[in-house]
Structure 1
């Protein structure tokens, strides 16, 4: 049991970070897939245009979730810089989805919704691996100073009496 405890202590922050990243990613995936199908089936935008629209909206959600929850303890290097890099890297990751959807639709000539969704899942899987690596490397940088765990004296509840 001591080995397990030491392993957990060593990798706890990574495990928590991956769990948060996965949670945000799961919600963004549902949003992306729902919008992809809505745009393609209900609005008839076509598979590639639908993917671009869906990814743009789900990427905005993912940025906010990752910035203010997953990687909140990392250096904040400016909203404009982060948002630009986040979208640039998501644009690169979008290429994985575009390639798999394009290959499925136009090379394999599979135009049904199931094939579209399978291609989307494969593209999102490859894109997710790229995004996690690139966010940590270029967007949400390691903090240069430790983030305080507790509020300093005189924080939010400074005016509340504690001797009741």
Structure 2
């Protein structure tokens, strides 16, 4: 029992009063699972529901996308940087925003790590390679050279495939063991 029990003397005799233990904050109840009393086992974080994980991942990704777009346009326009320099700096900033969003939000990790950031960066480079491959196959392999075809291949099909790769890589390689595990991620 988590509360306290005590006998209280009164005018008509003695009464036994039990007080309940203070309730844990809602956040703590949601992220921990009950452990049988007396086992001496610490509470482990409960798995993050997949829906919440996907929504958190997509939110961090959207913030990173906006960072990438705005910074690229600012570096190319008013600052006059070359396209590759502007894209490289914007990509690095977007990776940092996405990592922080996932580390501090989606996977609720208290801090950030250099190793995790390095793996996260490599996963994002792999995602960018998938987008470039989709664009290259469409443009050069299939001969679909219009602006619309390039947009659909790179920002449509490529973005969807790259996002799937990034989600898988983030949850299995970067934040493995952060309170969730399913049959398909190990």
Q: How high is the TM-score relative to the length of structure 1?
A: 0.60
Alpha carbons of structure 1 residues 110 and 57: separation in structure 2 relative to 1, 3 Å? farther
- Partner Cα separation in structure 1 for residue 69 and residue 156 of structure 2: 9
Residues 28, 88 of structure 1: CA spacing in aligned structure 2 closer, same or farther, 3 A cutoff?
A: same
The size of the alignment, in residue pairs, is 129
The structure carrying a bigger helix percent of its residues is 1
Contact 2:131 2:159 survives alignment (8 Å) = yes
- Provide the alpha-carbon RMSD of the alignment: 3.5
Does structure 1 residue 86 correspond to structure 2 residue 86? Answer: no
Q: Which has the larger radius of gyration?
A: 2
Where does the alignment leave 5 or more consecutive residues of structure 1 unmatched? 1-10, 145-164
**1:31 positional shift:** 3.2
Note the 1:17-96 alignment, pairs <5 A: 17-35=53-71, 45=83, 52-73=88-109, 79-96=113-130
CA contact (8 A) 1:25 1:62 kept: yes
Post-superposition, which runs of at least 4 consecutive aligned residues in structure 1 deviate over 4 A?
A: 33-44, 49-53, 103-107
Aligned 8 A contact 2:107 2:178 in 1: no
Question: Displacement, 1:55?
Answer: 2.8
Higher relative contact order (CA 8 A, sep 6+): 1
**Is 1:110–2:149 an aligned residue pair?**
no
User: Whose strand fraction is larger, Structure 1's or Structure 2's?
Assistant: 2
Length-normalised TM-score, structure 2: 0.54
Are positions 1:99 and 2:137 aligned together? Answer: no
